[in-house]
Amino acid sequence: MNYDFLKRIILFLAVIVMILTFYYFMDLKKEEKNNYLGEAGQKVLLKVENTGGHCTYGLCYSELFIYQDGAYLYKENQEELKGSFSEEEIKKLEELIKAADFNAIKSKKFSGQCPIEYDGSELIYTFYQPNERIASCEFEIDEDSALFKYIGELLNKIYLRLSSRI
């Protein structure tokens, strides 16, 4: 048996695997960038995910996308709610995000049992400018800080609108 031939086949297959891996990760990067854009190409300012607990449809999960133009999209189960915040509300949110010290926010690690382990929920905040992800089961989030308090106010406006639909 010709070992040089086998070596060449193995080398050829290794090169093919490397090329496929490269293209796979390039597609992931492209998908990441696309997540930054909303349905109509709007730039996402903030995404808030709420996961955990038991809902009538199974594991509770909701997403809120707030776009730079003030529009928002709230998704839960099969329902969607679209609306918009005022220019002043978005400007305030942008200012609070710019002023936030994300290193300080991420400096205090969450210690304890994550609420999703006992039918509670976890909040995950994804900021797109700067690119930061803050999960309540990874970091101690100061809900009284100006940024997270204001995000809570915006969420409450959406929840009030949802409850008025029932």
> Phi/psi at 86 (nearest 5 deg)?
-70, 165
pLDDT in tens, 25-70: 555 444 444 455 565 567 999 999 999 888 887 788 999 999 999 9
Yes or no: say if 14 and 7 are a contact pair by the CB < 8 Å rule. Answer: no
| Stated pTM of the model | 0.74
Q: Are residues 52 and 10 in the same domain?
A: no
Q: Are residues 63 and 17 in the same domain?
A: no
Q: Are residues 25 and 43 in the same domain?
A: no
User: What DSSP state is assigned to residue 60?
Assistant: E
What residue numbers bound the domain in which 98 lies? 39-165
> Phi/psi at 111 (nearest 5 deg)?
-130, 130
Supply the CATH number for residue 156's domain.
3.30.1560
pLDDT in tens, 99-118: 999 999 999 999 989 988 88
The domain total for the chain is 2
